[in-house]
Structure 1
Amino acid sequence: MEPEEIREGYLVKKGTVLNSWKAVWVVLSEDGVEFFKKKTDRSPKGMIPLKGAALVSPCQDFSKRTLVFKLTTEKKQDHFFQASHVEEREFWVKDIKRAITCLQGGKKFARKSTRRSIRLADTINLTELYTLMKDQDDGVKELKLEQENRVFNHCFTGVTVVDWLISMEKARNRPEALMLAAGLLNEGFVQPAGDRAKDGAESAELTTFLDHTDALYYFADSGFFCEGYSSDEDVLLKEEFRGNIIKQGCLLKQGHRRKNWKVRKFILRDDPAFMHYYDPTKGDEPLGSIHLRGSVVTAVEFVPDAKKYNIDGNLFEIITSDEVHYFLQASTSEERKEWIKAIQAVSKSGK
């Protein structure tokens, strides 16, 4: 019998020979991880056996890359993968760890309801805690804070986090709250924003989270951005990033000139209504943005000028108010429906 497929999707993988990072299509089965150059390829570029393997997450071997996890085979070969956002990494890590555990015990794969933290007590679930912290009504409030001639948007102080954990009875005292906050920081749920917080995160101390009013942090999946005092044009550009993140993930995008398809990371924000796209293998600077106010998005079955081998269904088109056409491809029909629904809602309500 063929091994059951558990999860599939786009991840960025570090080359085993060269140090280049490339977006690949990854398929997790009960006994291994296969990765393909393209989703439509029939033969994988490689296969990583899970028997005897170990997984490390977060992997902090690369200072400029967050959301990386490391999969080490029984023969001590390291494979590095990078997700596009926190939830995506958590889904992959949870399922890979469970697959490894099931292999060790000779059991068939079955998901557990929650993932336990290794560093913290068994009763602590950092994923659930992160969700509570991001709650619009009762969570940690995201603010615009000024520090050293820079403005930090959608962030908060270390003191705010510690106070919230105690007030919500997630910790009995400040040292306990500090341990929880350090766990959130180390797992990538919370990121350091200003220089003070970054210095603390990169220090050799066990507890890297700082309980200070001048230590700034932000949620990994928030609309955080930093701006200096600059020209009006630059400030206008930064306005695009003020909205809350509604949805994010990787999609295939057709280029406007060469008509070739490439994996891009997309972040959809609501007010103002913008969809930014990035090269998932590189930094946080967007390659471009789509202003969605007044746009039309529909599912399509055909794309002009598309090469035949790239057509694999689940296509949709965005037509902006300026009559610019964008052709995108989701991984599944369900994912296509989710993106279309989210974009339609933002295009009607956002500025």
Structure 2
Amino acid sequence: MIGDNNQTIGEGRVVTVFGGSGFVGRYVVRALARDGWRVRVACRRPDLAFFLQPLGRVGQVVAVQANVRSPESIAAALRGASAVVNLVGILAETGAQKFSSVQAGGARTIAEAAKTAGIDNVVHISAIGADPQSRSAYGRSKAEGEAAMLAEVPATVILRPSVIFGPEDDFFNRFATMARYFPFVPIVGAETKFQPVYVGDVADAVAIALAGRAKPGVAYELGGPEVKSFAEIVDYVLKVTQRQRRVLKLSFGTGKLMASVTQMLTKLSLGLFPKLLRMTRDQVELLKHDNVVSDAAKADARTLQGLGIADPQSIESIVPTYLYRFRKVGQYQTQRLGESASR
């Protein structure tokens, strides 16, 4: 948990949060507003970010237009700001949204603008698996983004979470949805390990870093209290949603073949191919490696615990609260309300 004096940490100063209208962003905005920051949410469609305003006091949260491919808009979003958070990222390339332009080039543009504005209180969200030598374009672009940030603002705090879960996630919800509609759930890399981290804990880590309680220029790896294989995670989803489904454990070769097909269908359909069924070859490449906090990070206290979050939320304490809706009878135990009473 964060300390009790959160309300005075921001002291009314402005923090610009790039990508603040996304899944992780809404939790980061709430955490920063709680700490007293005036939060400026920089996003491509500020007209779609009005839902963030109730997360703070009247006028405390404001959305502005910005695009990481437009240096002028980035500079404008940083005017008068004391701190910067970069949450911009994509899981797959679509149209003009490329890993190189968003996660590498975008980070560089934000870092250059922060340096020009004289801002050195910067937090950058990357990912476990960021590696300049990675065979995955996603992994390489994440590493390039980190390097660009540190080159321009050496004090930048890098946060590398494992897969992030929460009510709006695209991980647990994805497989629960598949189990609802299909008689089987295909997965690639069944034995690959993950260390899912709760989105609220990631947001608290951002707030702690901005408050100056993280080591500058250091990369922290964020993982929850449990390490599970991909197969174990899907089995857990099926258990919580009470769905009897067969889990198809596909080889990496088969996965890449399927990914090639879905990528082609997505392109031919002009993006209308169902997102639920999409998979990319790059994502298959990522699944060849475990996504867990490294021993080196643990030894150096570059973890949630090292940031003061001693008891991160577990999968079991959060996930069932939003996967119940995927059960045939929702949160109810039986199909008919009177059935349980007659037993």
Answer yes or no: same fold by TM over 0.5.
Answer: no
Name the TM-score, length of structure 2 as normaliser.
0.28
Name the TM-score, length of structure 1 as normaliser.
0.28
Give the strand-richer structure, 1 or 2.
Answer: 1
- Greater relative CO (CA pairs within 8 A, separation 6+): 2
Give the helix-richer structure, 1 or 2.
Answer: 2
